[in-house]
Chains A and B, each alone.
Chain A
Amino acid sequence: MSFPWAKQYEPKLPLTRWLDERLPVPRIVYNSLGGGYPVPRNLNYFWNFGVLAGAALAIQIVTGIVLAMHYAANGAVAFDSVESIMRDVNAGWFLRYAHANGASMFFIVVYTHIFRGLYYGSYKAPREMVWLLGVVIFLLMMATAFMGYVLPWGQMSFWGAQVITGFFSAIPLVGDTIRIWLLGGFAPDNAALNRFFSLHYLLPFVIAGVIILHIWALHIPGSNNPTGVDVKGEQDTVPFHPYYTAKDGFGLGIFMLIFAGLLFFFPNYLGHPDNYIPANPLSTPAHIVPEWYFWPFYAILRAFTADFILPAKLWGVLAMFGSILLLFFLPWLDSSPVRSMNYRPKARIAFWVLVADIFVLGYCGGAPANAFYVILSQICAAYYFAHFLIILPLISRSERPRPLPNSITEAVLNKHGGTSPAHTALSTAPTSQGAPSAPHAAH
């Protein structure tokens, strides 16, 4: 986005001028991530998570490509090829654990990023397209992660594939035919494994493409901020570089700290021991569960235990996909013109109930399907759908929001208790070496 006061890219060197006339990539980077992209000055740490998600994707792609040099996607040798990576390939254990735990980190970061969007109304006009592309990215991530988990061809890989591809048989009439066509056979076998490997390699690059659109769509209106109030003038923003590059650098360090802690010291904590047993189609594990990031949706799936016009299995599949697809409609379900839940007291309570609800659903999804967890899942799934489809639309029509600040700068000043207009002056154009040049009125 160009706010009128955005700094312009000015190539100084002959080389950069030459390049700018022919393929202006440095200009694009400058305008989207550099000094040329003004960003609200009041962003909190929840705004770090988009960049962290991009970093997580990069880590997955790099570790994944190197792993693919040593992995063999054939049912007879897949498990052993992964063990050979763990034992014989130099730093193979590091690559494998980085990729497996990197996937978990990717989902932790993306879920936080999504919850930020829900809380601060980042899905509302004019950023609907950003949100829609984001939901597409989320769906692609889930498909990629599912197929990736099948590749080691352990017990959970095989039986997870069996369960998930079994969903297609829930489609009336054509379901089973579709399932067999997708699998390339009657059950997950070599054909399924091979095509999952091919698609698992492909989809991350599709995700990268959609991310470019996602960021492009964001940069048209510019970033949202914790107050939800639009940018009114130059004093409301700071250039992305160096302000948010510095903050994101620190955020990246914290991300790496957590990632390293997991990878080097608890590499199998988030995994399931059954996946260290080679796949055996004749032996069903006691409890089939997907990886933790699918648990809320797995709980929703298993909550539907009663037939009602449609069979329970079909309800479960529809609800599981529906629970994600309803996110596409969120900008039109929530009609409040107020973006940030900081100013929407009723919606804010509903939001936190939703967060707790999703955590409980997650817990149920990883647990055995006995009566207690099923009942809990049924209650929590009911709230989940009610929240987005009934409660939020009603609240958004009837609630009285708190008064919004007039501008971002006003909100920042109120936070610091200062009132002098001179304090609003942003030091002009700090460069990477420059010290602030504009004088400040003393406190």
Chain B
Amino acid sequence: MVRLIASIVGAAFVLVLGIALFGSIQGVRNDPVAPTAESVAHKHPKELELASNGVFGKFDRRQLQRGFQVYKEVCSACHSLRLVSFRDLTKIGYTDPEVKAIANQWVIEQPSINPETGEPATRKNIPSDHFPSPFANEIAARAANNNALPPDLSLITKAREDGTAYVHSLLTGYTTQPAALLKEFPDIKTPTGLHYNPYFANLNIAMPPPLTSDGQVAYADGTKATKEQMSTDVSAFLTWTAEPNLEARHAAGFASIIFILIFCGLAWGAYQNVWRDVKH
């Protein structure tokens, strides 16, 4: 009885799948999917060699400080970093007085309340504050950016496929739209206010190229600030903001795996010993 019902149910599913399959194949033959501009022109991120790459990855603190400088002088005008606190900067090598100064001198102030009148006000940042957003809310952000919302950058390298390399490729990937592409896909013409960037999924991104010229940032440690260098440094910095505990994680990982390997060795020995005289 069970087998009878089962075979009927099975036959029903197979039948419906057959009908669906027939429809799909017909669909492919009659109405083949046309390639889209994105499928043709979208590029995958270029590889980026960073100190934090790989299982032995560590942070290069000088690079992180340079990257923070790029964020501060270029990106923070539009992009928030709300999951990071000023005090976290001590982990990339700044001293406490330096962090206090960075917080105090941060251009965007922290929202607060006027203690006398109760009206909204702002106050200077202190190390325990999170980085304040450059815009009061999403509407203000969109109004200032051609209706586009600049994403928060705290997690950006984990929120995108191959994120660290993606950020670097995106920042250095702005180019003129190829004429051949435009001819094949006239709809992909970059509208005014947008910019062509093949590393962006939709090809036309609202963010104007943020790194426009070499020397845009005057690095405190004297490194030459080429566009490539600035992009690499800020990608490294954003990798840190997304994964501040990377080094601790790798260190704990090595310790754990060595410990577990020793345990496995002992366990294997015990197992062999227990079973020695039993055929199995």
Q: Of the 9-residue stretches B63-71, B191-199, B223-231, B268-276, which lies at the interface with chain A? A: B268-276
Kindly report which residue of chain B lies nearest to residue A92, judged by CB atoms: B245
Q: Is the CB of B161 within 8 A of A273?
A: yes
B279 contacts which chain A residues (CB < 8 A)? 41, 412-413, 416, 418, 423
B9 contacts which chain A residues (CB < 8 A)? 322, 326, 385, 389
CA distance A268 to B164 in the complex (A): 13
Q: Of the 9-residue stretches B101-109, B110-118, B175-183, B248-256, which lies at the interface with chain A? A: B248-256
Q: Is the CB of A276 within 8 A of B13?
A: no
Kindly report which residue of chain A lies nearest to residue B270, judged by CB atoms: A246
Kindly report which residue of chain A lies nearest to residue B166, judged by CB atoms: A273
CA distance A260 to B249 in the complex (A): 11
Complex partner residue of B275 from A80, A243, A319, A370, CB under 8 angstroms? A243
Q: Is B72 an interface residue (CB 8 A)?
A: no
Q: Is the CB of B277 within 8 A of A436?
A: yes
Give the tally of cross-chain contacts (CB within 8 A). Answer: 178
Q: Is the CB of B245 within 8 A of A260?
A: no
CA distance A423 to B280 in the complex (A): 11
Q: Is A8 an interface residue (CB 8 A)?
A: no
B62 contacts which chain A residues (CB < 8 A)? none
Q: Is A25 an interface residue (CB 8 A)?
A: no
Kindly report which residue of chain B lies nearest to residue A42, judged by CB atoms: B280
For residue A287, give the distance in angstroms from its CB to the closest CB of chain B.
11
B163 contacts which chain A residues (CB < 8 A)? 273
Kindly report which residue of chain A lies nearest to residue B55, judged by CB atoms: A265
Q: Is the CB of B264 within 8 A of A257?
A: yes
Decide: A382 near B2, CB < 8 A? Known: A80-B83, A257-B260. Answer: no
Q: Is A184 an interface residue (CB 8 A)?
A: no
B14 contacts which chain A residues (CB < 8 A)? 382, 385-386, 390
Q: Is the CB of A375 within 8 A of B25?
A: yes
Q: Is the CB of A386 within 8 A of B10?
A: yes
Q: Is the CB of A250 within 8 A of B244?
A: no
252-298 of chain A: CB within 8 A of chain B: 252-254, 256-257, 260-261, 263-265, 267-268, 273-274, 276-277, 286
For residue B249, give the distance in angstroms from its CB to the closest CB of chain A.
6
A427 contacts which chain B residues (CB < 8 A)? 277-278
A107 contacts which chain B residues (CB < 8 A)? none
Q: Is the CB of A371 within 8 A of B33?
A: yes
Write out, one digit per residue, whether chain B residues 204-244 have a CB within 8 A of any chain A CB (1) or not (0): 00000000000000000000000000000000000000101
A274 contacts which chain B residues (CB < 8 A)? 159
Q: Is B40 an interface residue (CB 8 A)?
A: no
Kindly report which residue of chain A lies nearest to residue B14, judged by CB atoms: A382
Q: Is A332 an interface residue (CB 8 A)?
A: yes
Q: Is B158 an interface residue (CB 8 A)?
A: yes
A117 contacts which chain B residues (CB < 8 A)? none
Residues of B within 8 A of A (CB): 2-3, 6-7, 9-11, 13-25, 27-28, 33, 55, 83, 88, 151, 154-155, 158-161, 163, 201, 242, 244-245, 248-250, 252-254, 256-257, 260-261, 263-264, 267-268, 270-271, 273-275, 277-280
B252 contacts which chain A residues (CB < 8 A)? 94, 264
Q: Is A249 an interface residue (CB 8 A)?
A: yes
Q: Is the CB of B257 within 8 A of A304?
A: no
Q: Is the CB of B10 within 8 A of A389?
A: yes
Q: Is A401 an interface residue (CB 8 A)?
A: no
Q: Is the CB of B264 within 8 A of A371?
A: no
Q: Is the CB of A253 within 8 A of B7?
A: no
Interface size class of A (residues with CB under 8 A): 35 or more
* 17 A-B residue pairs with CB within 8 Å: A83-B154, A93-B245, A253-B267, A260-B260, A264-B254, A264-B257, A303-B20, A306-B19, A322-B13, A326-B9, A332-B3, A371-B27, A371-B33, A374-B24, A378-B17, A382-B18, A386-B10
Complex partner residue of A375 from B24, B83, B245, B250, CB under 8 angstroms? B24
CA distance A426 to B278 in the complex (A): 6
CA distance A388 to B6 in the complex (A): 9
Q: Is A402 an interface residue (CB 8 A)?
A: no
Given contacts A87-B245, A253-B264, A261-B253, 7 further A-B contacts (CB under 8 A): A243-B278, A264-B250, A304-B17, A308-B15, A333-B2, A333-B3, A423-B279
A249 contacts which chain B residues (CB < 8 A)? 267, 270-271
B280 contacts which chain A residues (CB < 8 A)? 41-43, 238, 412
Decide: A247 near B264, CB < 8 A? Known: A94-B252, A329-B2. Answer: no
CA distance A326 to B2 in the complex (A): 11
Decide: A253 near B250, CB < 8 A? Known: A273-B158, A370-B33, A375-B28. Answer: no
For residue A102, give the distance in angstroms from its CB to the closest CB of chain B.
14
For residue A53, give the distance in angstroms from its CB to the closest CB of chain B.
19
Complex partner residue of A305 from B23, B33, B250, B278, CB under 8 angstroms? B23
For residue B159, give the distance in angstroms from its CB to the closest CB of chain A.
4
Q: Is A315 an interface residue (CB 8 A)?
A: yes
Q: Is A166 an interface residue (CB 8 A)?
A: no
A250 contacts which chain B residues (CB < 8 A)? 264, 267-268, 270-271
CA distance A303 to B261 in the complex (A): 44
For residue A258, give the distance in angstroms from its CB to the closest CB of chain B.
10
B25 contacts which chain A residues (CB < 8 A)? 375
Complex partner residue of B10 from A83, A378, A388, A440, CB under 8 angstroms? A388
Decide: A265 near B3, CB < 8 A? Known: A246-B274, A273-B159, A303-B20. Answer: no
